[in-house]
Amino acid sequence: MLAFLLSALSLSSLVFRLSWLSLRLLLFVRLLSSPLLLFVRLPSSLGGVSISLLRRRALLFRPV
């Protein structure tokens, strides 16, 4: 019974740690993408392509 409680406690702390890390990563991606969103309005096609690539990369690393 004690081992079960300890394993459940360690599992919950691991889940909490993972959710905290994913939240920080999400905030970091948002902070990075907010100035990038300004470049989307630029008429240059090169800027738009680079922004779409950066957005795709950010979406890949975004935690589900």
Q: Which of 54, 64, 50 has its CA nearest to residue 29?
A: 54
Q: What is the pLDDT of residue 13?
A: 86
Residue with tokens 């939240």: 23
Q: What is the pLDDT of residue 41?
A: 55
Q: What is the pLDDT of residue 14?
A: 86
Q: How far apart are CA 54 and CA 9, in angstroms?
A: 38
Each residue of 41-63: pLDDT tens digit? 555 545 555 666 666 666 666 55
> 42 CB contacts (<8 Å, ≥6 apart)?
48
Each residue of 3-33: pLDDT tens digit? 887 788 888 888 888 888 888 888 887 777 7
Q: How far apart are CA 50 and CA 41, in angstroms?
A: 13
